[in-house]
Structure 1
Amino acid sequence: MQTPRLTHIALHVEDIDACVQFYRQFCGMAIIHQRQHGPKKIIWMAEPSREADFIFVLMNGGQNLVLADNDYRHFGFALDSHAAVDDIAQRARQAGSLVWEPRQEPFPVGYYCGLRDPNGNYVEFSYGQPLGPGADDFSKLTPPKEA
């Protein structure tokens, strides 16, 4: 049996245009497909060169989320330096969307900050996690024991 592979996340958002602008501005994503059926608008966004790997699907007609400050569910994006995390945090601070100030945590978390997108989703920007630039030794991760 083939192992499933994550290909997309679909977000049902209230203000699709504001979300498109956020993911362009802070995540560098671009629209790769869009369509409209009556009032229903659907937009696919991807990081450059990852269009065939992983996408965000934005759909209008949703409701904004209200997440507690201590709710850490989020989308994670890797950056190439501490300075890049600080830059995103500064831009987000000016835009009023910074929710987690930059901080350093032990491996495997690294250096990160968090933003709130226009729909209320949290978005993390990190440096030094095992899945991105500046990664520490990935072999330090301990897989869970089989039950």
Structure 2
Amino acid sequence: MPVTPRITHIALHVSDIDACIAFYRDFCGMAVIHERHSAHQTIAWMAEPDRETDFIFVLMNGGRDLDLPDNDYRHFGFALESREAVDRIADRADKAGCLVWAPRDEPFPVGYYCGMRDPNGNYVEFSYGQPLGPGAEDFARLQRTD
């Protein structure tokens, strides 16, 4: 029987692991679920609540900052429960000086989203209206009835 791979984690080398941990905790609601230190290496596993065995970010010190242009759309995507939630997090990011993409609407399946830069330069998107994450079943149902 063939084995179907399943994504479990993304590993990132970052220049300031403490700043990245704080970012993903404060903006993404993730928590450190494992941390280890050696003479030259710190590794932290971060997960969303109740997803600790499903999908994690592995953060490792020793990386270099990224310098992505604003029109580079590689990113990590997080779903939110409403357009208002996207607006609120965009406002927080703007005040923190890390907003890259102001809230905007795009045709299905993209939806309403904004983007920010984490302390290492990775882009992070927060969206509402995609057929992924919170409310995905509602959007799938709407697409079938249109």
What TM-score, normalized to structure 1?
0.92
RMSD: 1.4
Which residue is 1:36 aligned to? 37
The number of equivalent residue pairs is 141
1:68 CA displacement: 1.1
What amino acid does structure 1 have at the position aligned with 2:94?
R
Supply the distance in 1 between the matched residues of 2:132 and 2:52 (Cα, whole angstroms). Answer: 18
Q: Distance in 2 between matches of 1:55 and 1:138?
A: 29
Give the Cα separation in 2 of the matches to 1:98 and 1:42: 27
Correspondence for 1:66: 67
Alignment partner, residue 11 of structure 1: 12
Name the residue aligned to 2:99: 98
Change (3 A) 1:138 1:65: farther
Structure 1 gap ranges (5+): 142-147
Sequence identity percentage? 72
Question: Which amino acid is 1:94 matched to?
Answer: K
- Match of 2:122, as an amino acid? N
Is residue 81–residue 133 contact of structure 1 (8 Å, CA) maintained in 2?
A: no
TM-score scaled by length of structure 2:
0.93
Deviation at 1:137, TM superposition (A): 2.0
Structure with more of its chain in helix, by fraction = 2
Per-residue deviation at 1:140?
Answer: 5.2
